[in-house]
Amino acid sequence: MGEGRRAHSTARQSDVHVRALLRGLAVLEVLAQGQDLNLSEVARRARLPVSTTHRLLETLRRRGFVQPVEDGRYRVGLRAFEVGMGFLRAQRLPDVARPVMVELVDRVEETANLAVRDGAEAVYVLQVESDRMLRLFGQPGSRHPLYCTGVGKVLLAWEPEEEVRKLLGRGPLPRFTPRTLTDPDAVVRELRVVRARGYAVDREERESGVRCVAAPVRDAAGRVAAALSVSAPASRLPNRRIPQVAATVVSAADEISRRLGFSAVRNSPPPAGKIPVPSES
């Protein structure tokens, strides 16, 4: 920065966006919440004029990204689903992780989740359900805070503290249950524990009655690429059972990491700096 003498408008590479497309995407995002909305509600939520919204919706509809449903309401369409699944199709992660997760679920008899980080939130990408239980929460595609979920803590734990602070903000953090940690400092301390023992625990911090245990999945470069978790009703995850479950989760996560090309050999402490090779370039 430190420039700014372009005559007419700013010449930032940042603002090469196409407004009409941005607005169309905004409409899609509004509908993605999962409720069917009519034109004017979409317009209100997307903060767009009605007639503009109408045009955008019509365009999205023609392409199948949005489908009209009874009563003049709209909902996310099949094509959007298809495109969205393209995300999984392109990643190696889901294919690699799924069989391991099936195995894991078999062992612990509880539902397993795989999540990745997106900014200050975790997004569930894959879920393998135990038949012992109907879904607790967190369908694939849903977002969750980082500081009060097992996967979230894992996704945070190996980030540099400065980054963590930035993501958490200055607090207090929104409280979901009596056990939620609302003080960023407390979270940072907790993350230290997570890092030390190699897995994270969520004791009803996000949702009363639900506990989970999570471990990091690393990619070939050694970065934490995802978090694997097992969640269960608190009654089925008493403290004394946690170490054993955690061991199982960690070993499953390690297996996924291995298959992604990560080799743990030289990195007891996960790779922080560069390789200390004194040879010059």
Partner DNA sequence: CATGTCTTTCCGTATTGTAGAAAATTCTTC
Partner DNA sequence: GAAGAATTTTCTACAATACGGAAAGACATG
Binding region for DNA (CB under 7 A): 3, 6-7, 9, 11-13, 16-21, 23, 38-40, 48-52, 54-56, 71-72
Sheet of strand 37-38, all strands in order from the earlier edge strand to the far edge: 37-38, 73-76, 66-69
Query: Shortest Cβ distance from residue 217 to its own copies (Å)?
Result: 16
Determine which residue in the list 47, 49, 50, 82 makes contact with its own copies, applying CB under 8 A. 82
Binding to its own copies, residues 176-205 (CB under 8 A): none
Nearer to its own copies, 11 or 193 (CB): 11
Instruction: Identify the residue among 1, 18, 265, 277 touching its own copies (CB under 8 A).
Output: 18
Q: How many whole angstroms separate alpha carbon 106 and alpha carbon 248? A: 11
Work out the widest C-alpha separation in the chain, in whole angstroms.
Answer: 71
Cβ pair 232, 189 in contact under 8 A: no
223 binds its own copies (CB under 8 A): no
Is residue 252 a contact residue for its own copies (CB under 8 A)?
Answer: no
From the list DNA, its own copies, none, which binds 32 (C-beta under 5 to 8 Å, kind-based)? its own copies
Candidates 41, 109, 129, 219: give the one binding its own copies (CB under 8 A): 129
Among 141, 174, 261, 271, binds its own copies (CB under 8 A): 141
Q: What are phi and psi of 221, to 5 degrees?
A: -85, -5
Neighbouring CB atoms inside 10 A of 15's CB total 9
- Asked if 275 is part of the footprint of its own copies (rule: CB under 8 A), the reply reads no
- Cα 176 to its chain centre, rounded Å, is 18
75 binds, among its own copies, DNA, none (CB under 5 to 8 A by kind): its own copies
Q: Indicate which single residue of 38, 41, 45, 59 sits in contact with its own copies (rule: CB under 8 A).
A: 59
83 binds its own copies (CB under 8 A): yes
**Mask of contacts with its own copies, 104-123, x by CB under 8 A?**
--x---------x-x----x
- Would you say 156 or 201 has its CB closer to its own copies? 156
Nearer to DNA, 48 or 97 (CB): 48
Structure tokens at 39: 């034109």
